[in-house]
Amino acid sequence: MIREACGTAVPAVSPPPPVPRSNHYTTRMHTADILHHARLTLPPEASAEITSADPVLTSRFRVGEVAAAALAACGVAASELWALRGGHRQHVAVDVRAAAASLLGFAFQRLDGNATPRTNEGSATVALYECGDGRWIHLHGGFPSLRAGTLDVLGGGDDAAQIAAAVKRWDAQALEDALAARGMCGAMARTEEEWRAHPQGQALEPLPAVEVVRIADADPEPLPRGDRPLADVRALDLTRVLAGPACGRALAEHGADVLLVSSPKLPSIAPFVMDTGHGKRSASLDLDASSDTETLRALIRGADVFAQGYRSGAMERRGFGPEEIARLRPGIVYVSINCYGHEGPWRERPGWEQLAQTVTGIAAVQGSAQRPQLIPAAACDYTTGYLAAYGAMLALAKRATEGGSWHVRASLCQTAMWIDRLGATCDPSAATGFGDPADLMTQSETPFGRLTHLAPAIHMSETPSRWDLPTVPLGTHAPEWLPQRVRK
């Protein structure tokens, strides 16, 4: 079983300075052990190898190895789909250095030789602050509406000093509750023990890092022969920042026709769009317009995968929940990604990478309970996206062999709890860094300009990972599918 998670943003950072690379190598058994802590297993015949080891980043946690294991699982799932098409099972290899770099993909990319910086708007409302009771809270006003609502709750000014003074007038729990009541984003820093005693932590504790649940009956849909594991698989990507888009990008990496559908009314972050748009086409639909809603329904009827990264209940309120879509398109693989999980009292709360690290105890260990600190990477975001893609490919294999409509669920907090279960065993001062990252990079000619960016981290022995399309601005394409081969 598997489950999925929601998008998030992280502070703008640059790649660490060059330092020597590690020569330490892990083994196939290490891959299985890492996935065991996620409560996931690979098929006995799978051939997956993780090379090199953490710490690459200045983290107490093995986030590079966790990302590498999730990517290796994606490769194995793609290999299984390739075998269902009549190909051979493949050897999959992922290097921890490349996997760790993927957790900062937006920081590595260069557009016409220059960095792709994020805007600083709202940056003071995206930070950890100490409350009056000595506890810490992470605010997240990363988009204009969140920033305005957060400042309204605080009742103070909008620079860092004014926000810090306003936060000092609150106890952390009271401020967390007040933000939640307004639909804003903020989370009190907790220890791992406090999180596991919390009702939301208790709801997630027995779950695997990603779930694949059969939600309806449907006839089997065998995969046609094709030149890539996901050739002719159509995936609708209704996600943004960063976990959901990383899921769609991972599917495109193995040949899926991924159509990103964004809303013209929602803000976006350009460097994140560039980083997660490789291999996708991009259309724009306004679901407040009935004609666009009908267009989306028509797209769903021709889709194989429907991925969404909104808070629990949001798509159901628009008539696009998993059960509704399974009736509209029997055999659909429906992917849901959010921050806090799909069970428990916080399942409908909005959240981000930083909040998942903060509530689950990651930040308290990376820093201390007295002064929590974030891991310097979007470790939960990207890894959750990889897990969601893994789940989607598992569900496609199940659909091909036994039929059914499937719901794949993942969350940032479940990924954070997987990271935490592996333990804080790294010495951040021993981080190897990336050295010269040139061997990790590739180039694409895009409508933005010449983009230098990370290449896929998964190495497949028969069907090399690649993106056939360059990343494009939101809304570049018409909302329609590419022609498909006739399925037998």
SS (H, E, C) the chain: CCCCECCCCCCCCCCCCCCCCCCCCCCHHHHHHHHHHCCCCCCCCCEEEEECCCCCCCCCCCHHHHHHHHHHHHHHHHHHHHHHCCCCCCEEEEEHHHHHHHCCHHHHCEECCEECCCCCCCHHHEEEEECCCCCEEEEECCCHHHHHHHHHHHCCCCCHHHHHHHHCCCCHHHHHHHHHHCCCCEEECCCHHHHHHCHHHHHHCCCCCEEEEEEECCCCCCCCCCCCCCCCCEEEEECCCCHHHHHHHHHHHCCCEEEEEECCCCCCCHHHHHHHCCCEEEEECCCCCHHHHHHHHHHHHCCCEEEECCCCCHHHHCCCCHHHHHHHCCCCEEEEEECCCCCCCCCCCCCCHHHHHHHHCHHHHHCCCCCCCCCCCCHHHHHHHHHHHHHHHHHHHHHHHHCCEEEEEEEHHHHHHHHHHCCCCCCHHHCCCCCCHHHHEEEEEECCEEEEEECCCEEECCCCCCCCCCCCCCCCCCCCCCCCCCCC
Chain segment 300-315, per-residue pLDDT in tens? 999 999 999 988 888 9
Q: What is the pLDDT of residues 403-461, one digit of tens each?
A: 999 999 999 999 999 999 999 999 999 999 999 999 999 999 999 999 999 999 999 99
What's the confidence (pLDDT) of residue 116?
A: 86
pTM of the model: 0.93
Contact (Cβ atoms closer than 8 angstroms) between residue 340 and residue 200: yes
**CB of 401 within 8 A of CB of 329?**
no
Tell me the sheet residues that pair with 337. Answer: 410
Per-residue pLDDT of the chain (488 residues; tens, 9 = 90+): 333 333 333 333 333 333 333 333 333 347 889 999 999 999 989 999 999 999 999 999 999 999 999 999 999 999 999 999 999 999 999 999 999 999 999 999 999 999 887 665 558 999 999 999 999 999 999 899 999 999 999 997 889 999 999 999 999 999 999 999 999 999 999 999 999 999 999 999 999 999 999 999 999 999 877 899 999 999 999 999 899 999 999 999 999 999 999 999 888 899 999 999 999 999 999 999 999 999 999 999 999 999 999 888 889 999 999 999 999 999 999 999 999 999 999 999 999 999 999 999 999 999 999 999 999 999 999 999 999 999 999 999 999 999 999 999 999 999 999 999 999 999 999 999 999 999 999 999 999 999 999 999 999 999 999 999 999 999 999 999 998 764 43
The per-residue pLDDT for 1 is 33
Whether the Cβ atoms of residue 415 and residue 357 lie closer than 8 Å to each other: no
pLDDT for residue 117: 75
pLDDT given at position 30: 79
pLDDT for the residue 369: 92
Q: What pLDDT score was predicted for residue 460?
A: 97
